[in-house]
Amino acid sequence: MEQFLIVDGYNIIGAWPELSKLKDTDLEGARDQLIHMLAEYQSYSGMKVYLVFDAYMVPGLGKKYVQSKLIVLYTKEKETADERIERLVTNLMGRRKQIYVATSDMIEQHVIFGKGALRMPAGELLVKIKQNRKEVRERIHPETSSKRNPFEGKLSHEIKEQFERWRRGE
């Protein structure tokens, strides 16, 4: 089954504490960081990710580009991100396709749910991204995640024997 994730960019930036704090001083930096995080998530999860930014008050026809294999969409003039997301859900909907929309906007969640997509609150997406990062780290460095005691491999045999005697009370 093909899986898609459509992300309401500014809604997510406003909902995640780290990005929300960054947007107050560097909105472009917050967008870039979100793009980077979602590109990593896409590459590991296998989902096709669309990131939608609202350009409602910006004149123009909108813009679509690919960055790090992530599709980034800016809405056209007088179009909201919600409208673009709803249209995208309608266009992508089909057999053997599962579509998730990441937003904390409750009204938008109800609308896209009515169109057949699944909703994913901003907090849940952040948890999934952090979980994926942890899994990637464990795959890259399996020795650090499987050992109970990270000092065990660094101690000499004599020291280990001494600690074992102390543990037994000898």
Distance from C-alpha of 7 to C-alpha of 159, rounded to nearest angstrom = 54
Q: Please provide the average confidence, as pLDDT, over all residues in the chain.
A: 87
The pLDDT assigned to 147 comes to: 56
pLDDT above 90 covers a percentage of the chain that reads 51
The pLDDT assigned to 25 comes to: 93
Which of residues 107 and 58 earns the better pLDDT score? Answer: 107
Which of residues 66 and 59 earns the better pLDDT score? Answer: 66
**Concatenated DSSP letters for the chain?**
-EEEEEEEHHHHHHHSHHHHHHHTT-HHHHHHHHHHHHHHHHHHH--EEEEEE--TTS-SS-EEEEETTEEEEEPPTT--HHHHHHHHHHHH--TTEEEEEE---HHHHHHHHHTTPEEE-HHHHHHHHHHHHHHHHHHH-HHHHH-S-TTGGGS-HHHHHHHHHHHHT-
Whether the per-residue pLDDT at 145 is higher than 70: the answer is no
| Residue located via tokens 């960055």 | 67
How does residue 17 score in pLDDT terms, banded at 50, 70 and 90?
A: very high
| Residue located via tokens 């491999």 | 153
Q: What is the pLDDT of residues 80-112, one digit of tens each?
A: 899 999 999 999 998 899 999 999 888 888 898
Range with the poorest average pLDDT among 91-100, 126-135, 136-145: 136-145
Name the residue among 90, 81, 14, 19 with its Cα closest to residue 51.
Answer: 81
* 70-74 and 63-67 strand pairing: antiparallel
Which of residues 142 and 66 earns the better pLDDT score? Answer: 66
